[in-house]
Amino acid sequence: PTKGSEFIPAEWLGLALSFSIEVSTYLKHGVRMIATIEAQMNSVERVLYYTNNIEPEADEYVPEHDPAEGTWPTKGEIQFQDTSMRYRDGPLVLKDISLNVNGGERIGVAGRTGSGKSSLMISLFRISEIEKNGGKILIDGVDISKIGVSTLRSNISIIPQDPVVFSNTVRYNLDPFKRSTDEEIWSTLNKVQMDEVIAALPEGLEEQVAEGGENFSQGQRQLLCIARSLLRNPKILVMDEATASIDNATDATIQTMIRDNFAGATVLTIAHRLNTIMDSDRVLILDDGRIAEYDSPQVLLNKEDSLFRGMVEKSRSAKEKGDL
């Protein structure tokens, strides 16, 4: 075109076209960033919700009510008095539970799925608080709602169904707070028949435990958890279906160890295999969050309409069918 014409020069047109192509790329990137920000704001929304709406846990320590270290519990007596509990705004999962557990007793807890077995233990550790309806839980006469949660939990031991091990040394897994001597640790390992296994490791107690404890078998990981609890010498031990995921032979070995090494402690066992609680002092049967039966295994087995008897017979029938 001539100098005085109204047409856009070719060089300007080429420059405009090249920039327009880039602009579309920038627009696509902008739309993608907006979508990403919108998605990530969901996380911000959840954090704000948890910060503003979720009630925090109770204080770790309450100096005016916490018993002096080493003075509580002495007997291991547990009392549930009209205890009810729910998860958040859901229905009640424990309904007016009232029972007494004497110090040193072995109590088996059984019931169908959803009957409240694990909820009973959750209320004992105050992972979820009980209803403020006048009900309470006492350990050796101390109302656990009045003391700090760390004080409470440091004086009760639990052996969970899935053994928890840390990606650290064997020593740390057994004694994370460095309160025991080497002699005490090796003595405890001997009691759970793990001393030879640990001694055979290249670095012994300083051997690193792989993530998830993959360098130990399922049974060995469970034995390490038992050793950890044994080192603390608790007066109350909770076993939450601790042997449900291991074979019968290892189960029998572990049950014998627990009977021998926690002889003076109060032991609450949530049963997956009913044979693990047949030698308990008493058996607690829960049904829909309520106490259905609470007596010695022999007394319950002698009752024709007993829920416990029905569960045992059903378990034996299922085992016989599996053997055929």
> Which residue type does 114 have?
G
Q: What is the pLDDT of residues 14-26, one digit of tens each?
A: 888 888 888 888 8
Is 177 within the bounds of a domain? Answer: no
Q: What is the pLDDT of residues 185-212, one digit of tens each?
A: 999 999 888 999 999 999 999 999 998 8
Identity of the highest mean pLDDT range in 2-16, 128-142, 264-278: 128-142
What does DSSP assign to residue 110? E
The residue count of the chain comes to 324
Is 118 within the bounds of a domain? Answer: yes
Q: How far apart are CA 297 and CA 308, in angstroms?
A: 8
Q: What is the pLDDT of residues 224-278, one digit of tens each?
A: 988 998 898 889 999 887 666 566 677 777 778 788 888 889 999 988 778 888 8
Select from 126, 120, 73, 76 the least CA-distant residue to 98. 120
> Where residue 92 sits, what CATH number does that domain have?
3.40.50.300
What are residue 285's DSSP bridge partners? 110, 293
Is 82 within the bounds of a domain? Answer: yes
Please check whether residue 318 is in contact with residue 324, taking contact to mean a CB–CB distance below 8 angstroms: no
Q: What is the pLDDT of residues 34-70, one digit of tens each?
A: 999 999 999 999 999 988 888 888 899 999 999 998 8
Is 237 within the bounds of a domain? Answer: no
- Is the omega angle on the peptide bond into residue 202 within 30 degrees of 0, that is, cis? no
Other C-beta atoms closer than 10 Å to the C-beta of 263 total 10
Is 69 within the bounds of a domain? Answer: no
Is 143 within the bounds of a domain? Answer: yes
Quote the number of domains for the chain.
1
Is 173 a residue whose pLDDT tops 60? yes
Is 28 within the bounds of a domain? Answer: no
Q: Which residue has the higher pLDDT, 240 or 151?
A: 151
DSSP letter string, 82-100: EEEEESTTS-EEEEEEEEE
Is 308 a residue whose pLDDT tops 60? yes
Please check whether residue 78 is in contact with residue 124, taking contact to mean a CB–CB distance below 8 angstroms: yes
Locate 319 and state its tokens.
């085992």
Radius of gyration of the chain (CA): 30
- Is the omega angle on the peptide bond into residue 67 within 30 degrees of 0, that is, cis? no
Is 128 within the bounds of a domain? Answer: yes
User: What residue numbers bound the domain in which 152 lies?
Assistant: 76-156+278-324
Q: How far apart are CA 304 and CA 286, in angstroms?
A: 18
- Burial grade of 161 (CB within 10 A; 0-12, 13-18, 19 or more): middle
Please check whether residue 165 is in contact with residue 243, taking contact to mean a CB–CB distance below 8 angstroms: no
